[in-house]
Amino acid sequence: MAIEPSPSSTSDIAARAPASPLVRAEWLRRVEAEYRSAVVTQELTLWLMKVGASPDLIRAGLRIAKDEMTHADLCFRTYAEAGGEAGPVLPRETLGLRRREGEPLEHDVLRVCVDAFCIGETVAVPLFQRLRAGCSVAGPRRVLDRVLRDEVRHRDFGWALLGWLLELPLAPALRELVERELPSYFGRMRRAYAPQGTKPSAAFSPDDRAWGLMPIAEYAEVLERTVDKDWVRLFAEHGFDATKAWRAGA
Ligand SMILES: [Fe+2]
Ligand SMILES: [Fe+2]
């Protein structure tokens, strides 16, 4: 375990912001999300071994699966520190990846690469930066430090894997697949983080922010900024028009 539990001296407890039910619910949701990421990455890495990906990518995938287990563990410690006493709900039939039989395995590898890493892990970096900026309680702050450090490497893995896939003999079909499905990946991300009618939440509790939470409107802002700041440039490096895909996914 890379991060020690937060100090629990009397002065730390006395000074720290109280943890609300929202704080507990959010950190438990994070336990579930991190565990899901671990399962996805573990399975993706097995697929990478089956398609004969480069050993560097396979080792990077194994390391990421391990990171995500650590993140789930650290989030659970924070949930417990906030007074949480339940456990995560992770029905086994909802975990892992789905194969589209009849299509080459590389197609499914590409789907996970673009959706979970080029999109998901890329926006995770500025999202965690924003969450960390407002987080002042020692335990969750250390968790966000660790997660943010790892997410940068997870993001880079996604773009390296995309580059590798687009050098395969199957590349023309893989390119078509990205063109066809990118709008729906963006659309799903948008609906998750920026539901229609999202309003700035002036009433958001400073204590909740101190525990590493932020209002949904700020997720939406970060998402919009990531289009121009990261996705347009990074997808363009691989020959894709993210601006067009983002608009099409609205
Ligand atoms: Fe993670
Ligand atoms: Fe990650």
User: How far is ligand 2, taken at its centre, from the CA of residue 189, in Å?
Assistant: 16
pTM to 2 decimal places: 0.90
209 pLDDT band, cuts 50/70/90, is very high
Res 193: pLDDT: 79
Question: What's the whole-number average pLDDT of the chain?
Answer: 92
Query: What mean pLDDT do residues 182-189 have?
Result: 96
Residues bordering ligand 2, an ion, CB closer than 5 Å: 154
Res 201: pLDDT: 65
Give dist(CA 49, CA 45) in Å, integer.
Answer: 6
> In 3D, which of 1, 27, 88, 5 has the Cα closest to residue 212?
27
Give dist(CA 132, CA 140) in Å, integer.
Answer: 9
Residue 188 has pLDDT above 90, yes or no: yes
Q: Tens of pLDDT along 40-76?
A: 999 999 999 999 999 999 999 999 999 999 999 999 9
Residue 3 has pLDDT above 80, yes or no: no
User: How far is ligand 1, taken at its centre, from the CA of residue 173, in Å?
Assistant: 30
Residue 7 has pLDDT above 90, yes or no: no
Cβ within 8 Å of residue 35, ≥6 positions away:
68, 69, 72, 88, 90
Query: What mean pLDDT do residues 23-39 have?
Result: 97
Domains delineated in the chain: 21-90+104-248 (1.20.1260.10)
User: How far is ligand 2, taken at its centre, from the CA of residue 150, in Å?
Assistant: 7
| pLDDT cut 90: percent of the chain above it | 85
Residue 10 has pLDDT above 50, yes or no: no
Residue 8 has pLDDT above 60, yes or no: no
User: How far is ligand 1, taken at its centre, from the CA of residue 106, in Å?
Assistant: 24
Instruction: Give the ligand whose atoms come closest to the C-alpha of residue 68.
Output: 1
The alpha helices in 51-170, defined as continuous H runs, are 55-81, 105-112, 122-133, 138-165
Residue 147 and residue 128 in contact, taking contact as beta carbons nearer than 8 Å: yes
The type of residue at 116 is A
User: How far is ligand 2, taken at its centre, from the CA of residue 161, in Å?
Assistant: 15
